[in-house]
Amino acid sequence: MVGNLVVILGDQLSLEISSLEKIKKNEDKILMMEVSNEIEYVNHHKKKLVLILSAMRHFADELKKNGFNVTYIEFDKSKKNFTKELEYQCTKCNPKSIKITHPSEYRVLEEVKKWEKLLDIPVTILEDTRFFCKIDEFSEWAESRKELKMENFYQQMRKKYKILIDNKVNPEKIFFELFKNKVSEKISSNNDEGQIEIIYDNCSNKINFKSSEILLDSILNNNIDVPYSCQGGVCSSCIARIKKGKIDMKTNQILTNQEINEGLILTCQSIPKSKNIIIDFDDV
């Protein structure tokens, strides 16, 4: 039997993470898992996956070198989700309790919240102290708002910590800020129209677009819920393959020339250059 079973997720790779704070090296055990659900729930660029898994494995090695007792589960298609694997590990080591730092993703948090009842083991979710803002602070801010705009929340945080604030301007005097998408600035005022077919999650949708609009914006404006994140050409979440037509990519910090030649595009940076375009989010 072990004391606490400390679960560390792939975005919690820090020796300062709260779940490691009171860990007892001779009693507690750390569990890190590569499970297929986390890899497959949205499309990721291969390089991003390699980076994350490599970082996890290096971190596990670092923990072992520091004398922690670590069980590391490497990727295997049959290991579907955290809960199933955790359940199996608990039958092996029978921990007194499970500890985890608050997952950053709501989806994962909802899964973690079910563990205590499902496994019949006490589960402690610790605050993630790496963030400037506590969840309660955000909830308090959100409670009194009619409209939840992250831009307004970030502005409040920047005022509080005096970050990214023009030194000549008193933060208390900033009431409104205007941000522009860099890509939009580069687009000509060409208003030609065309049609895009979007394949995502085995469904096909056709929409009309204006060639003055970024591909991702056209898709989202038509309420098609494709993956994206940074909208700055950095994260690769919006990656798709162009099957027909031409686009122009304004910024790209992740795709190699070979990948571009093979048809991969970042939709958040793509401006249509043909009247008929087919893009496939599934084939990446």
Sole window of 35-43, 51-59, 63-71, 224-232 interacting with ligand FES (rule: CB under 6 A) = 224-232
Q: Which is nearer to ligand FES, 265 or 278 (CB)?
A: 265
In the complex, least distance from residue 267 CB atom to ligand FES, rounded to whole angstroms: 6
Among 249, 266, 271, 277, binds ligand FES (CB under 6 A): 266
CB of residue 270 to ligand FES, shortest distance in Å:
9
Specify the stretch interacting with ligand FES by CB under 6 A; choose among 85-93, 130-138, 231-239, 276-284. Answer: 231-239
Nearest approach in angstroms of CB 9 to ligand FES is 21
Residue 238 contacts ligand FES per CB under 6 A: yes
Task: Tell me which of 237, 242, 249, 255 binds ligand FES, using CB under 6 A.
Answer: 237
Distances (CA, A) of 244 to 45, 126, 197, 202: 21, 49, 9, 17
* Residue of 109, 165, 234, 260 that binds ligand FES (CB under 6 A): 234
Please, what is the minimum distance in Å from the beta carbon of residue 229 to ligand FES? 5
Residues touching ligand FES: how many (CB under 6 A)? Answer: 12
Query: Does residue 43 belong to the site contacting ligand FES (CB under 6 A)?
Result: no
Site for ligand FES (CB under 6 A): which residue of 17, 44, 183, 233?
233
Pick 199 or 268: Cβ nearer ligand FES = 268
> What's the min distance (Å) between Cβ of 231 and ligand FES?
5
Strands 203-210 and 193-200: antiparallel
Q: Which of 68, 228, 272, 279 binds ligand FES (CB under 6 A)?
A: 228
Question: What are the structure tokens assigned to 160, written together?
Answer: 């509080």
User: Which residues contribute to the site for ligand FES (CB under 6 A)?
Assistant: 228-231, 233-238, 266, 268
